[in-house]
Structures are given as structure tokens and as C-alpha cells.
Amino acid sequence: MPAKILRSKYPGVLKIGDLELECHVLEDGSRIFSSKDVLKAFGLDADSKNQPRILTAFLEKIKVISLADNELTSRLKSPIKFTRDGKGGSPAIGYPAELIPAICNSVLQLSTAYKLPIEFNDAAVRSRILLNGFAKIGILALVDEATGYQEYRDKHALQKILDEYLRKEYAAWAKCFPDDFYKEMFRLKGWEWKGMSVNRPSVVGKYTNSIVYARLAPGVLTELEKINPPSVSGTRKTKHHQWLTDDVGHPELSKHLHAVVALMKSSSDWEHFKRSISKAFPVYGQQNEFDLDDE
């Protein structure tokens, strides 16, 4: 059964030095370069009608005197067919973005050992330029930025985290926070502990958000504030932990609380604890710890 021909959803041009390489993110998330631009990257004949043959021959010549692996060769022999909007219905050919730095490394290894055929000297110069560009961010991140996929990727990744951690409907209440979490908080703040049955100061809720939910996973506290907002009186219909999923949210909460209580017990006072938790569990998306100072 022939492989499905995918569509380019995010086309772009990656500029490194004087090179301009056409790149795409396909509908399945694959990052690729067009075959013409892979050839161009190494100074090969980009106008040839048989681009896969030229790339394969290039790698085979290197392979004779290098350690280029078989997987690299097989992936070059199996280019990815894709379509581009505004380019008609004929599919184009591309290769995974990760192949370019792999080829660069092979070329430069040979060049350093003075074993690179003289006909590929230009490929060695270009390989150095390319690797210097890739080293700054990484090839996939560069492609994402050039195509505009970066914004979608970040939103998609955040949504995936929220889907894993949070449920669509809240569950029945069950005890999740150990008594020691509150006992240690009171000790560190210098407050008198009168037991779990006595109402705690309202600021305890703010501390809990900052200590626990803001550090549990990216976006979790923000989403909880949306789906479980306080009423006019300041109380919430449910507890935040009732919205956590059983398979990911609650196990991660349990692990986090265990670590937090250990930090609390090893701290001499509130300031000591603030420094410890800031180092061990930074707040996602912000640098300050204002919620731990707000009484």
C-alpha cells in the first residue's frame, strides 16, 4: 500500500548565512526540507530531474570511507512525497530535517581526516555554515520558527498537558493533601496550629496555589482558575484537586506534595522554605514568588 501523500501546513524559508532553504511542517507534524534545497545545501546539482539518485550517490561516496549508517542511506532512498498549496496537484519530494545535520557531520568528519574527495570541498564549507546555524537553536526549532509552526506547537503542547492533567467534569471529593502539608506551613509561618478541624486563614489558599498548582505543570493553575473560579464571596464550588485526572493529575500531585512536605520539614522558617522551593520547583511561566509574600 503506497504511503499517504501529506500536505504542507506550514511552509517557510530558513536562512543560514547566504543559504535560503525551503522547509515545511506537514500535517502529521513532520519537519522536512524540499529535495531541491537539500541538494542546494551541499552544493549539489539542485536542477537535476533525479534528485534522490544524486543524494544517494553522494552519500554512498562518503560511506565508502566513513561510518555513515545504513539508516541514513535508507531514509535518503525513501523521500517523502508532499503537496504544497498554490503549487498544483503534483506532489513534491522532501527529506526529514534531521538528515541535514547528520550529513553535515559525516562530511566534516571526513574533511577533518583529510579523506573527503576534493569534489566535495564546497560541501564541507557549507556543512560548517549549516552546523553553526543549527547549533544555536536546533534544527527542528529553526524549522518551526521559519514556518510559523512554533506558535501552533506551543499551544498544542500546552493543550496536551492540560488534557492529561485535568478532567472535563469534577470528581467526588477525596482527601489528597496530607495533614503535614498544613502543619508544616503553620510552623514555618509561626502560626498556632489548632488542628485540621479549625478553619484556616484565607491566605492559605493563595499559598497552596503558589506552592502546588502553579508548580505542578505548565498552564494547570491558569486553567483551574477558569474552570473552577471563586464565587462573589471568595469560595469555590469545588476543590482544585477534584478536577485532576486519575491517571496523570493525581499521581503527579501526590509526588509533588511528598517532595514539598520534605522541603518544608527541612526548612527552618518561611523564608528558608521560599528559597528552597524556588530552586527545586520554579513557578511555570514566571520568575517571581509574589504569591508567597501576599498575606
Count how many domains the chain has: 2
In a domain, 172, yes or no: yes
Taking the chain, what is the end-to-end CA distance rounded to the nearest angstrom? 65
* pLDDT confidence bin for 18, thresholds 50/70/90: confident
Last residue of a domain, one of 147, 168, 185: 147
What pLDDT, in 10s, does the model give residues 41-75?
888 876 767 777 888 788 777 765 554 556 666 77
Task: Look over the chain and give the mean of its residue pLDDT values, rounded to a whole number.
Answer: 83
Residue 25 lies in a domain: yes
Q: Which pLDDT score is estimated for 240?
A: 94
Domain boundary among 147, 177, 202: 147
In a domain, 35, yes or no: yes
**Three-class SS of residue 7?**
strand
Residues 271 and 165 in one domain: yes
Q: Which of 71-75, 156-160, 235-239 has the highest mean pLDDT?
A: 235-239
In a domain, 152, yes or no: no
Q: Is residue 76 a part of any domain in this protein?
A: yes
- 9, with CB counted inside 10 A (0-12, 13-18, 19+), is middle
DSSP-derived 3-state class of residue 266: coil
14 and 142 share one domain: yes
- Please give the pLDDT value at position 291: 60
Query: In terms of residue numbers, what domain contains 278?
Result: 160-292
The reply to whether 240 and 200 lie within a common domain is yes
**Same-domain check for residues 167 and 134:** no
Amino acid identity of residue 137, one-letter, is: I
Residue pLDDT, tens place only, 191-222: 999 888 888 888 999 999 999 999 988 889 99
pLDDT of residue 137: 64
Co-location of 126 and 178 in the same domain: no
Q: Is residue 24 part of a domain?
A: yes
Residue 106: per-residue pLDDT: 84
Query: Looking at the structure, do residues 18 and 143 belong to the same domain, yes or no?
Result: yes
> 285 lies in a domain?
yes
Q: Yes or no: say if 84 and 24 are a contact pair by the CB < 8 Å rule.
A: yes
Residue 196 domain-assigned (yes or no): yes
Residue 54 and residue 76 in one domain? yes
* Among candidate residues 147, 170, 196, the one where a domain is terminated: 147
